[in-house]
């Protein structure tokens, strides 16, 4: 074990860390124009302190002894903050906030005019959003530490703090999927570059006057080119914050956590559809998801969201008390999603498995003022609506919607099939429906109007591979 300070003569903070084999990347912010603990060094992009209250920094440690092999400040002359870092396919991505409102007059090298580092060639890019608030940015470096991409995204909400900007990556062959969530200023959405994809595309034009709105951007990176695939608001209503994002390496499902004080909730018959103005969406596509659907009457309440690779919602639920609670960070390990956060009142304590002797559990909320840290674990199998998995290729066999169902239930195949079988069992295990097709259409519709209300298990078999989805009939 080893530990150390990163000392200097100003205020400095570490905000993010990522590991890639024997390499460790540390990012943060520093007010130390001189005497920074790891002064700019190494090859590739190496920038000196540019000015302002703080500059962002990136430090790379390598080898058995974790010696610093690369260090650079990052930003312009008006204050910059690097908040997160992620690595995939040998590419290092960083994100954060900047007050530096002018791009550098040089491209992909150290700024020549104290402007913000610019690197647009072959990449998606955006201009500064005119606002009194800082702008989100994203940048990337190759394995030689050369800057390959750097751009503004949109203006941040005035309530943004370091944890309100998060970055995640997922390698898919030679392609790296890059996800960033943040909390934007309604006034800054005029320059938000919406990119339509899949079934969830909320226009920022409706919310230009609001204080804070949650958003997500999804880029694909390959051969040093970064293409915007999806950019959307996550939900309607004011006071929404997206704080953390992660992606399941197997399924590609996108998991998002945050907080909201939106009080108008989506009607149950509209679950798993894009919300109307001012509504907070909810979704229980698999029928087995953990759900909290009560109104957050005051203060902020945590929420969780899950989308598949086609941006279909699979799970959206509140979580925790409704005075002040939020999800701050997410991680996926094995078959579980882990969510840590904070709460101002007792948490949903009854969700503890009283028979487990392995789980840590603190049964009481701390007395006095302040916050308690919180930790929760969710099973991926029910969160994304997949109850049975025989082979890795079974993920994304089909999408089943709407769920809950009242009339026609759509089974949408994700790829062409030669043979298809569909079995439907009720809660007692009785087979209530079966059909078999050769060369089926992409979308098969089941009429549920004669089904009794309740829970059903839908088994879809495509060319010998099986997927089971729970369906609720209302």
pLDDT, tens only, 362-380: 556 665 667 778 888 887 7
Residues in contact with 106: Cβ distance below 8 Å, sequence separation at least 6, in sequence order = 112, 113, 118
pLDDT at 385 over 50: no
pLDDT, tens only, 51-92: 888 999 999 999 877 889 999 999 999 889 999 999 999 999
Residues 234, 240: contact at Cβ < 8 Å?
A: yes
pLDDT, tens only, 83-142: 999 999 999 999 999 999 999 999 999 998 889 999 998 899 999 987 778 899 999 999
pLDDT at 333 over 90: no
Instruction: State the pTM of this model.
Output: 0.78
CA dihedral 152→158→162→164, nearest 10 degrees, is -80
276 pLDDT band, cuts 50/70/90, is confident
Residues 411, 397: contact at Cβ < 8 Å?
A: no
Looking up tokens 């690097």, which residue turns up?
82
pLDDT at 239 over 90: no
pLDDT of residue 390: 31
And the tokens for 404?
A: 């809950």
Residues 343, 258: contact at Cβ < 8 Å?
A: no
pLDDT of residue 356: 47
> Cis before residue 10, ω within 30 degrees of 0?
no
Tell me what percent of the residues of the chain surpass a pLDDT of 70. Answer: 82
Cα–Cα separations (whole angstroms), residue 168 to 17, 123, 389, 417: 12, 19, 25, 33
* 52 phi and psi angles, rounded to 5 deg: 85, 180
d(CA 225, CA 180): 17
d(CA 60, CA 71): 6
Lowest average pLDDT, out of 23-27, 383-387, 425-429, 460-464, goes to 383-387
Residues 265, 293: contact at Cβ < 8 Å?
A: yes
pLDDT of residue 63: 81
């Amino acid at each position: 074990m080893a530990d150390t300070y990163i000392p200097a003569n100003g205020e400095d903070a570490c905000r993010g860390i990522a590991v890639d084999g024997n390499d460790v990347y540390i990012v943060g912010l520093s007010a130390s124009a001189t005497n920074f603990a790891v002064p700019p060094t190494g090859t590739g992009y190496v920038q000196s302190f540019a000015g302002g209250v703080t500059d962002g920094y990136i430090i790379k440690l390598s080898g058995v002894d974790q010696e610093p092999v690369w260090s650079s400040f990052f930003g312009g002359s008006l204050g910059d903050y690097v908040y997160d870092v992620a690595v995939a396919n040998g590419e290092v991505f960083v994100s954060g906030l900047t007050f530096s409102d002018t791009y550098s007059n040089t491209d992909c090298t150290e700024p020549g005019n104290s402007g913000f580092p610019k690197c647009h060639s072959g990449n998606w890019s955006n201009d500064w959003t005119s606002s009194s608030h800082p702008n989100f940015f994203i940048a990337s470096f190759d394995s030689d530490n050369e800057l390959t991409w750097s751009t503004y995204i949109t203006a941040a909400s005035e309530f943004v703090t370091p944890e309100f900007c998060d970055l995640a990556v997922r390698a898919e062959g030679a392609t790296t999927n890059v996800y960033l969530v943040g909390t934007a200023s309604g006034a800054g959405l005029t320059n938000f570059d919406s990119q339509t994809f899949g079934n969830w595309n909320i226009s920022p034009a409706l919310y230009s006057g609001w204080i804070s709105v949650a958003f997500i951007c999804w880029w694909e990176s390959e051969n040093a080119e970064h293409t915007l695939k999806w950019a959307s608001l996550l939900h309607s209503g004011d006071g929404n914050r997206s704080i953390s994002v992660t992606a399941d390496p197997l399924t590609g499902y996108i998991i998002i956590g945050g907080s909201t004080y939106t009080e108008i909730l989506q009607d149950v018959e509209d679950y798993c559809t894009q919300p109307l103005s001012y509504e907070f969406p909810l979704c229980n596509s698999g029928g087995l998801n953990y759900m909290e659907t009560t109104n957050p009457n005051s203060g902020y309440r945590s929420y969780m969201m899950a989308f598949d690779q086609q941006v279909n919602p699979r799970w959206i639920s509140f979580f925790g008390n409704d005075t002040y609670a939020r999800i701050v960070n997410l991680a996926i390990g094995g078959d579980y999603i882990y969510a840590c956060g904070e709460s101002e009142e007792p948490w949903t304590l009854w969700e503890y498995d009283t028979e487990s002797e392995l789980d840590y559990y603190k049964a009481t909320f701390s007395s006095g003022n302040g916050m308690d840290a919180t930790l929760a674990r969710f099973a991926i199998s029910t969160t994304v609506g997949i109850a049975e998995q025989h082979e890795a290729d079974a993920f994304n066999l089909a999408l089943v919607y709407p769920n809950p169902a009242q009339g026609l239930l759509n089974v949408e195949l994700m790829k062409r099939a030669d043979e298809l079988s569909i079995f439907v069992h009720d809660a007692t295990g009785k087979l209530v429906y079966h059909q078999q097709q050769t060369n089926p259409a992409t979308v098969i519709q089941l009429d549920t109007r004669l089904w009794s209300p309740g829970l059903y298990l839908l088994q879809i078999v495509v060319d010998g591979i099986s997927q089971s989805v729970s369906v609720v009939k209302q």
